[in-house]
Amino acid sequence: MTHSQAPAVVVEGLRVIRGSREVIPGISLTVPRGEVVGLLGPSGGGKTTLLRSIVGVQVVAGGTVTVLGEPAGSPGLRSRVGYVTQSPSVYGDLTVRANLTYFAALAGAPRGAVERTIEAVDLTTDADSPVDRLSGGQCSRVSLGAALVGSPELLILDEPTVGLDPVLRRDIWAMFHRLADDGTTLLVSSHVMDEATRCDRLLLLREGHLLADDTPDGLLARTGAPDAERAFLALIETEEAA
């Protein structure tokens, strides 16, 4: 098996304790390369914690996380993995262009990457406005752009579409799929269930446990539910009954 066919992310027996709570009691999963994988689940279920562990910024209590063939957080991964935090983490006092220019420089991105990214996240008319003067949705697109600008092989996106209108959400998801077609792997968290159908695969996370790791169609077939939201509820009910 060649290197490029190995999964993008392999998590084995991951345990995370935050404060005094065991947020992830032991989870194993894989994320295949070149796909858009959705990480869904209720608020407080551990999505951000899992994503942070994959990026390598979370202190973990046990288990292994392998990303693109290397242990999560290895220096060699820092230019290959892009991370968009749940709350926008860009410089509010700088313009959109200045923010992206800085993150492009850190990633060693080629010339032209900044302008291409500004277009991709649809901020051309606001490119010279300070981020503080943008709306919430625009702000989160700047944050998304700051990760896209380095063209990483793996994109970890924590609720990137919060606060976006349906048209923009459709466009952003279309962009995710274009990126995946070009070989980028995307792990995207959301708690909007209707976004589930836009993913190639779904991970359902609840209270640190993996309820499902399946394709959207597989999930519907398995639960007999008409949509992702009801499939998710059905899985919770079965788990609670067991």
Partner 1 sequence: MNPRLTIATAGRVLQQIRADHRTVGLLIVVPVVLIGLLAWIFSGTRVFDNIGAPLLGVFPFVVMFLVTSVTTLRERSSGTLERLLSTPLGKGDFLAGYALAFGALAVVQALVATGFAVWVFGLDVAGPRWLLVVVAVVDAVLGTATGLFVSAFARTEFQAVQFMPAFVLPQFLLCGLLVPRDGLPRALELFSDVLPLSYAVDAMRTLTARVDAAGDVGRDVAIVAAFAVAAIALGSLTLRRRTA
Please report, as ranges, the residues that interact with partner 1 according to CB under 8 A: 18-19, 55-59, 73, 75, 78-79, 81, 83, 85, 87-94, 98, 102-103, 105-108, 130, 146, 150
**Cα distance between residue 170 and residue 164, in whole Å:** 10
38 binds, among ligand ATP, Mg ion, partner 1, none (CB under 5 to 8 A by kind): none
13 binds, among Mg ion, ligand ATP, partner 1, none (CB under 5 to 8 A by kind): none
CB 46 within 8 A of CB 198: no
The footprint of ligand ATP on this chain (CB under 6 A) covers a number of residues equal to: 14
Per-residue x/- marks for ligand ATP, 182-201, CB under 6 A? ---------x----------
Nearer to partner 1, 57 or 233 (CB): 57
**Cα distance between residue 103 and residue 148, in whole Å:** 9
State the minimum distance, in angstroms, from the CB of residue 128 to partner 1: 12
106 binds, among Mg ion, partner 1, ligand ATP, none (CB under 5 to 8 A by kind): partner 1
Considering only 8, 11, 48, 139, the residue that binds ligand ATP (CB under 6 A) is 48
Report the first-to-last Cα separation within the chain, whole angstroms: 39
Instruction: For residue 209, state whether it binds ligand ATP (rule: CB under 6 A).
Output: no
Q: How far is CA 126 from CA 59, 94, 95, 96, 114, in A?
A: 37, 12, 8, 7, 14
**Alpha helix locations (H) across 77-191?**
96-107, 113-120, 136-148, 166-181
**Cα distance between residue 82 and residue 115, in whole Å:** 18
**Cα distance between residue 43 and residue 137, in whole Å:** 20
23 binds, among partner 1, ligand ATP, Mg ion, none (CB under 5 to 8 A by kind): ligand ATP
Going by C-alpha positions, the residue among 104, 70, 82 that lies closest to residue 153 is: 82
Q: In what order do the strands lie in the sheet with 9-18?
A: 21-31, 9-18, 62-67, 70-71
Considering only 18, 33, 78, 177, the residue that binds ligand ATP (CB under 6 A) is 18
**Cα distance between residue 36 and residue 223, in whole Å:** 22
CB 189 within 8 A of CB 40: yes
218 binds, among ligand ATP, Mg ion, partner 1, none (CB under 5 to 8 A by kind): none
Select the span of 39-47, 128-136, 180-188, 218-226 touching ligand ATP (CB under 6 A): 39-47
Select the span of 18-26, 102-110, 124-132, 177-185 touching ligand ATP (CB under 6 A): 18-26
Beta strand pairing call for 154-158 and 36-40: unpaired
Nearer to partner 1, 73 or 218 (CB): 73
State the minimum distance, in angstroms, from the CB of residue 152 to partner 1: 10
